[in-house]
Chain A
């Protein structure tokens, strides 16, 4: 019963980790998860659930989900 959380770019460097696992709880939103992994102070952030970008922080997170917490993109 867990959620895999991925961090990228400058955010991963600031946190000192690229990935972690958190216990899946009932009624956990994306915003709850961002707070749980102590990312709420970073802005702007982009979020994805199961490789789909999500802008609604009230999106529910469930067991087995993969959540990506990302700084703005800078490819090209």
Chain B
């Protein structure tokens, strides 16, 4: 059963196909869908990464994601947005974050998607710690 919530923070993995289909079902006016899928890498800052642990400020993180979605809906000519961020320990190749944007046309869908992932990194209280051969290391920010 697909989760009806447009913004979610969860431990479990998600299906990109199911999320895209759920977004498509919200409107027949959608003509272009842009997605951003963030995955865990096995290498960062010149060293191997065994795993990445995520931490959130529960409550505020989901509120900030909802505000991000609302602002994108105001700012761009788009129809619907779904955002999911996992809070758990992930390994190389695992999915972390998904943003799906539906619009009548591709340009606002791409623009909104890029703006949301850039802004999410600045505004949503989530932190990640990389587990490396040299020990654990909190990530400051990636461009």
Cβ of B141 < 8 Å from any Cβ of A?
yes
> How many residues of B are in contact with the other chain, CB < 8 A?
28
B59 pairs with A76, CB closer than 8 A: no
A9-B138, A13-B138 known; A75-B121 Cβ under 8 A? yes
Task: Please report the total number of A residues contacting B with Cβ < 8 Å.
Answer: 18
**Of B59, B117, B127, the contact of A9 (CB 8 Å cutoff):** B127
Do the beta carbons of B57 and A75 come within 8 Å of each other? no
Specify which chain A residues have a CB less than 8 angstroms from the CB of B123 in the assembled complex: 53, 73
1/0 per residue, CB under 8 A from B, across A43-76: the answer is: 0001010011100000000000000101111111
Q: B85 to chain A: which residues have CB within 8 Å?
A: 75-76
Q: Which of B94-131 contact A (CB under 8 A)?
A: 96-97, 117, 120-129
The smallest C-beta distance from B122 to any residue of chain A, in angstroms, reads: 7
Given contacts A9-B138, A10-B138, A51-B63, contact A74 B127 (CB under 8 A): yes
- B127 and A68 contacting across the interface, CB-CB below 8 Å: no
- A6 contacts the other chain (CB 8 A): yes
Interface of chain A: mostly helix, strand, loop or mixed: mixed
Q: A46-B125, A71-B127 are in contact. List 4 more A-B contacts (CB 8 A).
A: A52-B60, A74-B127, A75-B85, A76-B126
A-B contact pairs, 30 of them (CB 8 A): A6-B57, A8-B55, A8-B125, A9-B55, A9-B129, A48-B57, A48-B60, A51-B57, A53-B60, A72-B141, A73-B122, A73-B125, A73-B126, A73-B127, A73-B141, A74-B127, A74-B128, A74-B138, A74-B139, A74-B142, A75-B61, A75-B85, A75-B124, A75-B125, A75-B127, A76-B38, A76-B96, A76-B120, A76-B126, A76-B142
